[in-house]
Structure 1
């Protein structure tokens, strides 16, 4: 079984990239400098005026058996296939076809109008031996299967140095309209001036570009494959979806039927429907993790209490805190139901028989998302409930029992600098409390001002951290009726602070209760603003772990999720 996926950066992909480089040198020994530059080109993908895209075909063991290196000219909506190779002994086994189909799928997915590539001539030339000629013809035959044909009647094949110049091939990616002259000229000008900048000059580029006189551009008739046998359409399903998705199906057991309880199961269904329709996400299984990941951020006695009281409740009984022994914290009430107020910050977060199990599964989902990031996923979305960002070191509340985002961030922080950005309408008092005295995790929150928004007692601008964490907490409280322009200005400030911290990972506590019409928030963000938020988050070029928090309007959840992840994809894909 072969999986084809995109490698977005060199981070934690050193082994895979090393295998690609070995395979590259085995097939293109004369271009060793390109192999050496692959990590740099992935980490700084737009430096040359195009985006470098690496697709790898690998076995379940992680062994790389093929790769394709593309140049995506994002400003002109086309791509150039620079190199593609399959491991020796696999040619003819379908890997090359699957890899090229993944290339085509990628190009169509990012809106390319066409794909260009080069191949050496398949006509006998002076000095060309029979083996080389046979290999060139085999390559042209392979591409003809996909209706990829050489461009003819131009000066593209004018040699620059010694040896034959390659032919330019065009793949229309299944489109029915012909290749127009102006489109081809624009593409060729960019290929020659950017890819071949070191060996071309203005005179040569003008010669080649002006030689495109046919409109539409002429393509050579097929030589090897009958038109009826060619694959004109672009197949899908060859390329693994770029974003990881984790959904806690067990969340349904946590269903509080009380009137006005807005944190209900249908929220997850609405969000899942929205994001799965984007064709960006590959749902992945959720692993189970030990309690040590939870007690690394939560008090062990607090965790034990949650488990004990929930497991001991009858199926239809809910315990709402109503006594809060804050004046004598050393005197915990003996009765478990009464003790709820010792660990809770409000009166509307009930303990039920299933609350602990649902919260525990949400933690597993968040940790699974963190591990997906560590394995190289550029984006992982944890679609879980109950939410978590109001859960403090030893307190629960705000519909939250365990802090999913903080637990995942703590896991990532062991591997590199980590920042948490909370963009839920309500301040993430729990996340702030957990990391307030730590300097290795930056916490930033944009939220409704605590003078008018829950939790009312935290989230003020002067809360900046203590001890080693001094300066590692930033709150950006905003007034009621904040709209898109002011919110995005605050987001820019938050991202500048995160940029100075230079984290390797960014955890986003994601709430859609910032949108206009949410029953718990007073901001007025539109779907357009959510899309711009997604673009800005992705522009940091850090692995993104997004953990679901609030958002209680079903219509907003659907519109907001689609818009935000479209924005993320526009900067990452």
Structure 2
């Protein structure tokens, strides 16, 4: 399976995040990508597809904010990484605010995703890796893997959060649509619900979003991912949320994934994007499922049995010592 990654994706390295009410070391570290690279071997450098595919998903004002936030933060005399501290209750209120502190709140939904001077560069090349993997599949490869770092599924069209700045799965799905694929499905198997992906396609019927994740009644991101969220307008019925309790192991997760794959088949998907998070691993420090390393091969084989051209995106997974083995298990399981 072809895999894509650019070394510039390692540049994004915030020092700390706000987690469970206190500041702690940033969990989404460059070491995650290094561990995966050590385990999977050869990767290809992605080509540069430019900003157009990003802007097909993300608001232009938000993209400009990502590019300039660190510089504006420093110019305002703020120390350290860009971190929000005030958010609008009415998100969509149109206010012509220019102060960087206000813009951080306008374009984010949490304080766990700081911006550094290198964040835009790393997020940009994460998106290019996603686009390169998508192009490989559109060109005839059965599957391809994008080592996306930073990850993407919590990022909405005009907001960041959950370590995510550009929504790589959405960018890939939209690129496939723009290339002529009529129906695309996204299968999200990260521990946390991909609220940004859901938001982006909420009112669209051409991209099906299915997510298996920890019950948001007890786990981040709380406000999205409940079973009664099914889409609206043209997207009614094109969102499927399958929340699971803490402690879920392979048997329940596999059965639930089977339900998602049946729904994707019924939708008539012609291409599949998989948002893969290895934070479902039993040893993950911020999650509470009980999957083991060999389980990822089993789940991947089930996905491969759907016989769809498949683009696999890397999302979460924070047990760095086991992360490479977990990703390798998934990729080997998919390859059979």
Q: TM-score, normalised by structure 2?
A: 0.92
Could you report, residue by residue, the CA deviation over 1:137-170 in whole angstroms, capped at 9, with x for unpaired residues?
xxxxxxxxxxxxxxxxxxxxxxxxxxxxxxxxxx
1:256 corresponds to: 14
2:70 corresponds to: 310
Q: Return the alpha-carbon distance in structure 1 between the equivalents of residues 127 and 241 of structure 2.
A: 25
Q: Helix, strand or coil: the match of 1:500?
A: helix
Aligned-pair CA distance for 1:284: 2.5
Report which of the two structures shows the higher radius of gyration computed on alpha carbons.
Answer: 1
Which of 240, 249, 265 pairs up with 1:499?
A: 265
Structure 1 residue 531 and structure 2 residue 297: aligned?
Answer: yes
Compare relative contact order (CA 8 Å, sep 6+) and give the higher one, 1 or 2.
Answer: 2
Q: Helix, strand or coil: the match of 2:278?
A: coil
Unaligned runs of 5+ in 2: 17-23
Aligned-pair CA distance for 1:332: 4.9
Unaligned runs of 5+ in 1: 1-242, 277-281
Map 1:466-545 onto structure 2 (within 5 A). Answer: 466-545=232-311
2:86 corresponds to: 323
2:320 corresponds to: 554
Change (3 A) 1:256 1:405: same
1:266 corresponds to: 31
Q: Return the alpha-carbon distance in structure 2 between the equivalents of residues 269 and 460 of structure 1.
A: 34
Q: Return the alpha-carbon distance in structure 2 between the equivalents of residues 397 and 360 of structure 1.
A: 16
Could you report, residue by residue, the CA deviation over 1:98-155 in whole angstroms, capped at 9, with x for unpaired residues?
xxxxxxxxxxxxxxxxxxxxxxxxxxxxxxxxxxxxxxxxxxxxxxxxxxxxxxxxxx
Q: Helix, strand or coil: the match of 2:14?
A: coil
Q: What root-mean-square deviation, in Å, do the aligned CA atoms of Structure 1 and Structure 2 show?
A: 1.6
Could you report, residue by residue, the CA deviation over 1:192-211 in whole angstroms, capped at 9, with x for unpaired residues?
xxxxxxxxxxxxxxxxxxxx
Aligned-pair CA distance for 1:567: 1.1
Aligned-pair CA distance for 1:313: 4.8
Q: Helix, strand or coil: the match of 1:346?
A: coil
8 Å contact kept, 1:389–1:400: yes
Q: Return the alpha-carbon distance in structure 2 between the equivalents of residues 421 and 553 of structure 1.
A: 22
Which of 107, 131, 135 pairs up with 1:367?
A: 131
Equivalences, count? 323
8 Å contact kept, 2:184–2:270: yes
Map 1:325-474 onto structure 2 (within 5 A). Answer: 325-327=88-90, 329-414=93-178, 415-416=180-181, 417-474=183-240
Q: Return the alpha-carbon distance in structure 2 between the equivalents of residues 341 and 314 of structure 1.
A: 17
Q: TM-score, normalised by structure 1?
A: 0.55
Change (3 A) 1:375 1:356: same
8 Å contact kept, 1:332–1:342: no
Moved more, 311-320 or 557-566: 311-320
